[in-house]
Chains A and B, each alone.
Chain A
């Protein structure tokens, strides 16, 4: 039975052009046909601005198409009445968990939907219990949402939809702002609802491993669906996906490398790591292969930053007392690239904010080139100039009329003269790969990824010696992520800045970092080379972290008795090793 049947949908919105002072219509959807069977698990992929979210909003009647017809559960969306009926059948979970929770108590938030539908209090209570059970949040029935983690809030949002007993849930990038644990929990709930309750699930996402769980994928580009098929079909065409500014799962990428660079004939239907490992084992590779162990370099310059015995307690001596940092001792060397990992609440943000004295502590010191910055209130501006800090979602701090002033804000505060500021703006823009024509544009007219880069440039313009970035890639599409990562790498290589990168992506960290700082419950769990950190896969998993997908594949193979090296993180290296393994070398 068809649950959704949308035919040739067109949608336009108007965008205001500042320079020409006119409104231009922009085509967001240009003839989309979408048909979803009841009980399907659908993923919709597409880069930012490809029209995915617009499509989702049309299915929910939040937007009305300019042309075309939408039928949801047998009901054509054409008037008020049909739209309200459709919304009871098709619920939506949005991206930002904070902006979809209405009440101050979990239970009351979940009740919001059923209350709107005029259910009796008994029925509402019953539905709340069902919904909270389904998302595994029954223990939090009387909790305050603002005290929950992002993943928990998002599960409450799902419960809020479930309490209306819909037949379908649309997830509009609902995992984009979550940490890995939160993401996993949300995906688990989605799969469970699909499997156990026959719920139709439509998942719009930028994470390819999530899409690989669907039974059908639709790929969108420029307002149309350009391709549809099973994950195996979609992800086997790696070049096509990259052409659309998208990614494929790691396993597909390795298979692609093997088939192109090593002339293997591996069936292209492999999309998960488990399937890849199974395939390799089925080929009966030799157990004893000689792989040369590589050298692990680490920078050992002068220490530029030292943290000694740092302890921080929030709300000391109140009912809300919480130890955020406990006796932190670390040393960062000049010119080093250090990754910081740890799940939400492990103390990463508290630590990074100490590094340029935004938070200060009585206990412990932070030494920049031997000077304690927590005590030196006079030179605080100078220190903040030397140690740049880019916050999470830095585009939310933009406020100036144009990009030039935005980037010049920092240097101006430092009292630098106009001539030098000009130079700095130009060089910072260049570093984030935006040309000078952007100077006059309003930062608010830019795309999400561009805004983010302007925000990073605005910190870079202060010429910091150390740059701390708090999840600079969060919430971007695959292409946007790659662009930012390559910018950061360039800063290190060309400017010689010491970089500290907080990230949830083990792939990114293993790719660019020299050493990794692992935080857990306010303490330093490890600070070591990439190799020495990711070698402890089991310990990392215990504290809610993971190793890069590639090294997990290698780990699996080693468990099977094949002595592949344990220091492989990149797709290229993995393809090289597996290729040799399959050749029987």
Chain B
């Protein structure tokens, strides 16, 4: 497959908005899922370590 130039590639035969729009939203969804998961991991670990520390003190 030869696009000739990068501008042809981004234009997607004049349908760039639809093709790249679909890909961009997919990318956002994946990044959002990974971001939420990472945040969940961080807060959960913080909460559980804190709990553990409190349990040891008492």
Q: Do A and B bind each other?
A: no
Residues of A in contact with B (beta carbons under 8 Å apart): none
